[in-house]
């Protein structure tokens, strides 16, 4: 059973389109992180959200942490081919200190 469920698992869109990736759990998380991974490399941190209801923007990327701290979303505006990659959410379950658990990832392909 995946503690963090991401959807969709695959997403193929045209350049210029908008998209949203979801990260959901039945458990409460102290914080959630979003990573991006390119082929042959390790994931790289994009952002950490800490407070319930928090919204963070990183250029065309908008991250939101749910009020109940059980879900998060990543919205990309006007996607570009350079956004192509695997997007992963991760977090430490509230009562399991020291562990960072990942979702199964969303594979995004942006075609020119």
Partner 1 sequence: NAGVTQTPKFQVLKTGQSMTLQCAQDMNHEYMSWYRQDPGMGLRLIHYSVGAGITDQGEVPNGYNVSRSTTEDFPLRLLSAAPSQTSVYFCASSLTGALNSPLHFGNGTRLTVT
From the CB of 51, what's the least distance to partner 1, in Å?
11
Pick between residue 30 and residue 77 the one whose CB is nearest to partner 1.
Answer: 30
Pick between residue 42 and residue 112 the one whose CB is nearest to partner 1.
Answer: 42
Comparing CA positions, the residue from 46, 73, 45, 77 lying closest to residue 60 is 77
From the CB of 55, what's the least distance to partner 1, in Å?
17
The single residue listed with the structure tokens 């990736």 is: 21
Binding-site ranges for partner 1 (CB under 8 A): 2, 4, 6, 9, 30-31, 33, 35, 40-45, 48, 50, 88, 90, 92, 98-105
Collect contacts of 96-105 with beta carbons under 8 A, ≥24 apart.
Answer: 100/33, 101/3, 101/4, 102/4, 102/35, 103/2, 103/4, 103/5, 103/6, 103/23, 104/2, 104/4, 104/5, 104/6, 104/9, 105/6, 105/9, 105/37
Under DSSP, the state recorded for 82 is G
Pick between residue 58 and residue 78 the one whose CB is nearest to partner 1.
Answer: 58
Pick between residue 85 and residue 103 the one whose CB is nearest to partner 1.
Answer: 103
From the CB of 10, what's the least distance to partner 1, in Å?
10
From the CB of 73, what's the least distance to partner 1, in Å?
17
């Amino acid at each position: 059973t995946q503690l963090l469920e991401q959807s969709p698992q695959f997403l193929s869109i045209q350049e210029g389109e908008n998209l949203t990736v979801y990260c959901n759990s039945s458990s409460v998380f102290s914080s959630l992180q979003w990573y991006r991974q390119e082929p042959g490399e390790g994931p790289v941190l994009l952002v950490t959200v800490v407070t319930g209801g928090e919204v963070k923007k990183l250029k065309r990327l908008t991250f939101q942490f749910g009020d109940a701290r059980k879900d998060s979303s990543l919205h990309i505006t006007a996607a570009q081919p350079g956004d192509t990659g695997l997007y992963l959410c991760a977090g430490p379950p509230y009562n399991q200190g020291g562990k960072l658990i990942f979702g199964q990832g969303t594979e995004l392909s942006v075609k020119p």
